[in-house]
Amino acid sequence: MSQALRPDLRIIADFISTGARVLDLGCGDGALLAHLVQAKRVTARGIELSEAGVLACVRHGLSVRQGDLEAGLGDYPAGSFDYVVLSQTLPFLDDPAMILKEMLRVGRAAVVSFPNWGYWRCRLELLLTGRIPSAPDLPQAWHEKPRWQALTITDFAIFCRKNGIAITRQAYLANGRRVNILKVTNLMSTTGVFLLEHT
């Protein structure tokens, strides 16, 4: 399973230290958590909406709760995890600000990955075709479920600055490959991965 780990999840796994307590929000079939348990001996917990996802997680020997992120993380005491992970889910949330705040209450740090609509091809597509570009790493169009709200790495950076969230580590992917860029990241990457802490 670890060989097939999605590129952004590989980076998230790099950000997480050995033996940490990890909560993965929207953990799907548990691929990241199963990898982290094996590779980094973490204490893994997940929240997943779909029955199929929960069943897959239990099959992988993981501890997962079925639940809806939109209801918040009220059940978890503050500081009960070292890392709270949200991978490729941010554009689908009704109240992303609330979730990010909750992640940093429940976790010492948060790890977030999301598709970047600031990528040059997206900009070009809108300019040349006049159509809303679907994110490079998302398959569905704007009218298909689940609905997304486009955002860019620049939008996210501004949000973090305004809300007292420090980006302490970052990594970028372009079409599934990690790219080592320091400037024009918003233009050059299809997905951003960020480690967040309270300032």
Partner 1 sequence: MVLYQDTQNFTFAEKTPFTLESGATLSPVTLAYETYGTLNAERSNAILVCHALSGSAHAGGPGGWWSDCIGPGKAFDTDRFFVICSNVLGSCYGSSGPASPDPATHEPYGLHFPVVTIGDMVRAQRALIDHLAIDRLLSVAGGSMGGMQVLEWASHHPERVRSAIPLATTARSSPMLIAFSEVGRQAIYADPNWQDGNYYANGHRPDAGLAIARMVGHITYLSDQSMHAKFGRRLQNREKFGYEFSTEFEVESYLKYKGLSFTQRFDANSYLYVTKALDYFDLSTPAGLAAAFAHSQHIKFLVVSFTSDWLYPSYHSKELVTALTAAGADVTYLDIESSWGHDAFLLEVDTMTRLLGSFVNRVAREAGL
Return residues touching partner 1 (CB under 8 A).
45, 51, 54-55, 57-59, 61-67, 74-77, 80
Structure tokens of 157?
Answer: 């950076």
Q: Determine whether 91 is exposed, middle or buried from the number of CB atoms within 10 Å of its CB (0-12, 13-18, 19+).
A: middle
Write down the least CB distance from residue 196 to partner 1, Å.
23
First to last CA, the chain: 36
Q: Are 186 and 118 in contact (CB under 8 A)?
A: yes
Looking at the Cβ atoms of 2 and 66, the one nearer to partner 1 is 66
Looking at the Cβ atoms of 26 and 118, the one nearer to partner 1 is 26
Write down the least CB distance from residue 84 to partner 1, Å.
14
Write down the least CB distance from residue 52 to partner 1, Å.
10
Write down the least CB distance from residue 107 to partner 1, Å.
15
Nearest to 195 by CA among 134, 121, 107, 126: 107
Q: Are 23 and 106 in contact (CB under 8 A)?
A: yes
Looking at the Cβ atoms of 58 and 181, the one nearer to partner 1 is 58
C-alpha distances out from residue 166 to 19, 22, 46, 162, 197, Å: 23, 19, 24, 10, 5
Write down the least CB distance from residue 146 to partner 1, Å.
18
Looking at the Cβ atoms of 10 and 21, the one nearer to partner 1 is 21
Looking at the Cβ atoms of 74 and 130, the one nearer to partner 1 is 74
